[in-house]
Structure 1
Amino acid sequence: MADDKSKRDFRDRDRVSASEDYEVQYFAEKAGITPQQVRDLIAKHGNSCETLERAKALKGKG
């Protein structure tokens, strides 16, 4: 089911939906990683932007 962009509110601003290509692409570009890496991080750590940012930073250190 497509995301209805006309219905916007605060509920999902802090989440990245792995099923929405444009959300994955945006986060990937912002974080400097590939869309597949974003999906892998979501699968392992959940879809919270804050958690994904921390996971990406930790992944880069190791």
Structure 2
Amino acid sequence: MSDNKDLRGGQDRQRINVNQPHEVRYWTEKFGVPEDVLKQAVKKAGDRAEAVERELKGSRE
């Protein structure tokens, strides 16, 4: 079955793509952190939003 490019779903909010400016903007606002902090957390914890959130909360304590 081929992909139907006319059917577009919402963005995957389970993963963080730091190469997309609109995603970086969304996640920095959501987590309340600067861009460099977000990118470091993604580098350390991976691109899963849940893991990044845990990493960020751990670094604030």
The question of a shared fold, defined as TM-score above 0.5 by the shorter chain, is answered with yes
Whole-Å separation in 2 of the counterparts to 1:40 and 1:7: 30
Gaps (5+ residues) in structure 1? 1-5
Cα 1:53–1:8 change in 2 (3 A) is same
Q: Which has the larger radius of gyration?
A: 2
**Alignment match, 1:7:** 8
TM-score (norm 2): 0.78
Q: Post-superposition, which runs of at least 4 consecutive aligned residues in structure 1 deviate over 2 A?
A: 6-10
Gaps (5+ residues) in structure 2? 1-6
TM-score (norm 1): 0.77
**Alignment match, 1:17:** 17
Provide the aligned C-alpha RMSD in A.
1.8
